[in-house]
Amino acid sequence: MREKKKIIALIFPDSLPTLEELEAKYPPRQLPAGAMVTRIAPSPTGFMHIGGLYAALISERFAHQTNGVFYLRIEDTDRKREVAGAADLVCRSLQRYGIKIDEGKIAPNNEVGAYGPYVQSQREKIYRAVIKFLMEQDLAYPCFCTTEELEELRQQQEAAGVRFGYYGSWAKWRERSSEEVLKLLAENKPYVIRFRSPGDFKQKITIEDELLGKRELPENDQDIVLMKSDGLPTYHLAHVVDDHFMRTTHVLRGDEWLASLPLHLQLFKALAWSAPRYGHIKPIQKIEGTAKRKLSKRKDPEANVEYYQQAGYPEEAILEYLLNLANSDFENWRKANPQANLQDFTLTFKRLKNSNGALFDFDKLNNISKEVIARYSATEVYEQALLWAKQFDAELAELLANNREYAEQILKIERTNDEKARKDLARWSDLKEEISYFFDEQFSLTVADLKEKLAGFTVAEINKLTQSLLADYSENDSPQVWFEKIKKIARENNYADNVKDFKKNPENYRGSVADVAKVFRVLLTGRTQTPDLFSIMIVMGKERVKKRLSFCLTGSV
Ligand code: GLU
């Protein structure tokens, strides 16, 4: 007994709080019934995965829709993997997407909350206090195995055809004498502290996961490492300690941790703490060939949250896409509530369970993003696009900044506040291509372009049509009057003034009014497809229209 005390005193010479003191310092939270306390707990690796943003969004929504708390904890106990500035990247990404953090690092250099510190490397004393307690209870013990010895153990297990690991009779230091431990401590030999697992692998436990449902898992019997030789805790211990003292009610985390759940539940039990509810999120997947696989940080640029920023997807579009992935009824909700705030949508575990492991789909993302941008006013589009361009496309930034009024007029075309609103923009990086022809410095039309796009029309014919239009063109015409004029030009030149008549008797005409409009369209924009031509002409202004329509006469634009 005295020897055990001596060992503990040697391992923990520092003054540590007792568990009672910690309980008092981090009391249960006073929250309304049903309020969820959730968190994300990233390891700062310098990369924000879209799956991490997804998990953060889900966790934040559940917390806030129940009047609970969402916090950010930085899990930086693996010093080898740590990347400078990585924690800031996480909180800046969450900020960018409007995912409100209540506690923890809410901004670089700003930590708030009464349950901190929220960075694991600053919580060493708390972990040590708990590990010390476990040792006092004989639920943990030091192990002096070297890497070579552990490798040897593995080989023996392989030869014997048994499960790998440090358990049962393979747990070499489980029953070592205090003398031996004291001797190696005196020699300053490196050691780790292991959990003394009470489990039996042959027994099963049944869990009810919020997202995976009922599962049967074998009990844990591994004497896993709680404290590494550098004195820092492993994920397992830190998770249990932090989620207890930070009073998390729901741990929503990647499903790679499901296999460790029996161990985590065992640790909660050993400490006589009640465990939180768990929901294991399957990774977002993509199809490769015929197989599904998870989005890979190495192979898929779209795995990185920064990718979406660079491509110029509005943050709101990414949030809508992720909510849609999480709960498939989001789409209907959005249709019924086109102007509602995203916060008003209620996520449910039930639907999340059904969509767990969803597929990443660019078409879907682009469609959602087009809908989102279609809801913006021309001014909003202008401002957001300019903000993006300043960072990623200097030429577009200059174009927009120097021509604000003209650009907003362009963006107003077909930007109606209804179902018919234009839906051609999914990303700000698509904008230049969409609007460039309005700007003389970006517009070019060659004879080769004309030959290709207006094949079948002679130069004489093109000139005749354009001169007719110019002779009678007025910027004060209504769209109806304008179109009547085009139809008149069509008739005068032996084109059917409606497509139906032309289809009925194609042999009677040179073409239809659509072909006449095409001539004007190509000359004005260099394209065969554009938004409403009348609006384009009004926005371009008479001078520009005149100049472009005279291309065949003058040979230049
Ligand atoms: N640091 C762990 C990870 O990044 C956190 C898992 C959890 O949410 O508990 O995978």
DSSP 197-220: ----TTSEEEEEETTTEEEEEEPP
Ligand 1 centroid, distance to 328 Cα (angstroms):
26
Residue 557 has pLDDT above 90, yes or no: no
Dihedral sign of CA atoms 59, 62, 65, 66 in order: negative
**Radius of gyration for the chain, computed over Cα atoms and rounded to the nearest angstrom:** 33
Q: For residue 84, what pLDDT is reported?
A: 75
In the block, residue with structure tokens 């903000």:
387
- For the segment 300-355, what is each residue's pLDDT rounded down to a tens digit? 999 999 999 999 999 999 999 999 999 999 999 999 999 899 999 999 999 999 98
Ligand 1 centroid, distance to 41 Cα (angstroms):
5
What is the Cα–Cα distance from 272 to 268, expressed in whole angstroms? 6
Count CA atoms within 13 Å of residue 480 on its CB side: 0
Ligand 1 centroid, distance to 40 Cα (angstroms):
7
Q: For a ligand 1 pocket test, name from 49, 235, 258 the mutation site with the most ligand atoms within 8 angstroms of its C-beta.
A: 235
Q: For residue 303, what pLDDT is reported?
A: 96
**Is 554 or 363 the better-scoring residue by pLDDT?**
363
3-state secondary structure of 112: strand
Q: Take atom 10 of ligand 1 and give the residue whose Cα is closest.
A: 42
Atom of ligand 1 nearest to the CA of 39: 8
- Please tell me the least confidently modeled range out of 127-141, 171-185, 449-463, 477-491: 449-463
Q: For residue 357, what pLDDT is reported?
A: 84
Ligand 1 centroid, distance to 11 Cα (angstroms):
28
- Write the CATH number of the domain with boundaries 444-557: 1.10.10.350
Contacts of 34 (CB under 8 A, 6+ apart): 66
Q: For residue 213, what pLDDT is reported?
A: 96
Segments making up each domain of the chain, as ranges: 125-281, 294-375, 376-435, 444-557
3-state secondary structure of 252: strand
Determine what percent of the chain is predicted with pLDDT higher than 90.
Answer: 89
Strand-pair category, 495-496 with 511-512: parallel
Pocket around ligand 1: residues whose beta carbon is below 6 Å from it? 41-43, 75, 239, 251, 253-254, 257
Q: For a ligand 1 pocket test, name from 257, 264, 277, 280 the mutation site with the most ligand atoms within 8 angstroms of its C-beta.
A: 257
pTM of the full predicted structure? Answer: 0.92
Ligand 1 centroid, distance to 252 Cα (angstroms):
9
Atom of ligand 1 nearest to the CA of 52: 4
Ligand 1 centroid, distance to 190 Cα (angstroms):
27
Ligand 1 centroid, distance to 247 Cα (angstroms):
16
- For the segment 384-441, what is each residue's pLDDT rounded down to a tens digit? 999 999 999 999 999 999 999 999 999 999 998 777 888 999 999 999 999 999 999 9
Q: For a ligand 1 pocket test, name from 239, 268, 280, 282 the mutation site with the most ligand atoms within 8 angstroms of its C-beta.
A: 239
Contacts of 424 (CB under 8 A, 6+ apart): 370, 430, 434, 531
Q: Mean pLDDT, to the nearest integer, of 55-79?
A: 95
Give yes or no for a contact between 103 and 112, defined as CB atoms under 8 angstroms apart: yes
Q: For residue 269, what pLDDT is reported?
A: 98
Considering only the C-alpha atoms of the chain, give the largest distance between any 2 of them, rounded to a whole number of Å. 112
Atom of ligand 1 nearest to the CA of 239: 9
Residue 554 has pLDDT above 90, yes or no: no
Atom of ligand 1 nearest to the CA of 243: 9
Determine what percent of the chain is predicted with pLDDT higher than 70.
Answer: 99
Residue 553 has pLDDT above 70, yes or no: no
What is the average pLDDT value for the chain, to the nearest integer?
Answer: 95
**Per-residue tokens: 160:** 């014997």
DSSP code, position 301: G
Ligand 1 centroid, distance to 201 Cα (angstroms):
25
The band of 81, judged by pLDDT with boundaries at 50, 70 and 90, is: low
Q: For a ligand 1 pocket test, name from 253, 260, 282 the mutation site with the most ligand atoms within 8 angstroms of its C-beta.
A: 253
Residue 371 has pLDDT above 60, yes or no: yes
Q: For residue 488, what pLDDT is reported?
A: 96
Ligand 1 centroid, distance to 348 Cα (angstroms):
22
Contacts of 417 (CB under 8 A, 6+ apart): none
- Write the CATH number of the domain with boundaries 125-281: 3.40.50.620
- Write the CATH number of the domain with boundaries 294-375: 1.10.1160.10
Q: For residue 555, what pLDDT is reported?
A: 59
